[in-house]
Amino acid sequence: MLSRRLVHTSSRRLNKFKLDPNYKFKCGIEIHTQLKTRYKLFSLSPSSFYSSPNSKISYFDVGLPGTQPKLNPEALYLALKLAVALNSDVQLNSTFDRKHYFYPDQPLGYQITQHYHPIAKNGFVELKSEFDEISVPSKIINIEQIQIEQDTGKTSYDKYDKTIKVDYNRSNVPLIELVTKPDFEDLKQVGAFVKNYQTLVKHLDICTGNLETGAIRVDVNVSVNGHPRVEIKNLGSNGEIQEALKYEYNRQVQLLKNQEDIIQETRGWTGNKTVTLRIKEDAVDYRYVPDSELPFINLSSTISSDIRKSLPELPEQILKKLTSEPYSLELKYAKFLVDNKDILTYYYHLIQKVNEKQQPTKLANNWLFHEYLGAFTKLNIEVDMTILAASLLGDLIVKVGEKEISTTSARLLLLQLLQTPEDRDKSIDELIEQYDLGKPQDLSADELHDAVRDICSEIVDNNPDVVERIKKGQKNSIKFLVGLGMRETQGKVDAKAFTEMFKELLKL
């Protein structure tokens, strides 16, 4: 056992974590993914996670004698989608097995899974430094297998009557279990893989992708210098995964330095340390046997190619496209769009509209991410891409690009559109005229220049303290003067014109 001193030492080291080159970190992960199916895996109970306890269950879900399972084909289809997307070899013949263990959350006394003949084997994910912030140019993470299995019920402790209660709504919900090879050599690779996996299952509409709600549950297996591996169960966030790995690596390294044995075991994460749950079981402890009530799954030889044809463009392909011409997005914005399919679709329509009018993509990028999405924040309303048609926002951006309306006026009009539904049926030209937001049309360029000079001169005369600060080097104070000029002209004159005029008058 570790001493108290050792535990405190390991905790202090978490904040300054670094792999010791003399102690090789090796890790594999298992990911359990709840599938977004209408019904459960082997019954017609609805898959529901937010209903009152034990309200979405069938006789089979609670293990009543005489009930039999019947495979939900939707779960099989979703598993196949993921297998193909992860470059796996789909097995044309697969079977179900019974994994025996006796917990209250498993009423059958066994879990139906695919131990001997899973649905897929031998996949891989390639992590790349250009997208994943890993320390090597690329890293292949091999996938051992993907299998379909049923989820368990959910236990909870009632602190008032001091009893353990079981909600079987989750029992028999379909899961995919993905098992990787122990190919991870540092923590960044683990983090990148999990994030990529979350993005992929959301993108394919296989799962919500949420760790925090339990839709994805991650177990990690850690070993140091080839010693026995230790499993850490049910990590519920990317932060938990990283902190648990740091702690467990330090714990095992310290044991080896003290010439103590590492025990193959299953541990849990308390929030600041790992603790023993049970000595690690081997396959023989579960007494796997083929399930006698479920038939074999026999698939067509063309199933992989057929599934591949039905898949949408995958996240990595989208990232490559968005960070290249003509979109040229920063990686953080490209990843944001991949994680938000509704905004990605909106973005494509917006770019098409703006490019039709020969306006730069960069202008549309800025308006979508900073002005449009930012306007929802300013108004304290939830982002809803259906509120304003991409074509209407595109027309507004084009007017800004063609300098028919100032940026300030366009921002005001955007806020108005988000708050006034009846305005969304009008054209941008009609709205500019209705709210008198257009550039002054009755002034020539020279007349406009002279008018701006007169306004700026008056503002300079009326704000000597601000002018003094600017002359002393506080050049950002010029924004205050520009704001006064914009207010005076109700945003009809572009801020750039005022900025240039103030610099000219103040000899900056």
Q: Where are the domains of the chain?
A: 4-287, 315-434, 445-505
pLDDT tens, residue order, the chain (508 aa): 433 444 444 444 445 788 999 999 999 999 999 999 999 999 999 987 778 989 999 999 999 999 999 999 999 999 999 999 999 999 999 999 999 988 888 899 999 999 999 999 999 999 999 998 888 899 999 999 999 999 999 888 777 888 888 999 999 999 999 999 999 999 999 999 999 999 999 999 999 998 988 899 999 999 999 999 999 998 989 999 999 999 999 999 999 999 999 999 999 999 999 999 887 666 567 789 999 999 999 999 999 999 999 999 999 999 999 999 999 999 999 999 999 999 999 999 999 999 998 899 999 999 999 999 999 999 999 999 999 999 999 999 999 898 888 887 888 899 999 999 999 999 999 998 887 776 665 556 776 787 788 888 888 888 899 888 888 888 888 888 888 887 777 677 778 888 888 888 888 7
H helices present in 380-472, as ranges: 390-401, 407-419, 428-434, 445-462, 464-471
Instruction: Tell the burial category of 120 from Cβ atoms under 10 Å away from its Cβ (0-12, 13-18, 19+).
Output: buried
Within 10 angstroms of residue 240's Cβ, the number of other Cβ atoms is 17
| CATH number for the domain running over 445-505 | 1.10.10
Give the angle subtended at the CA of 308 by the CAs of 306 and 314, to the nearest 5°: 160
Within 10 angstroms of residue 35's Cβ, the number of other Cβ atoms is 25
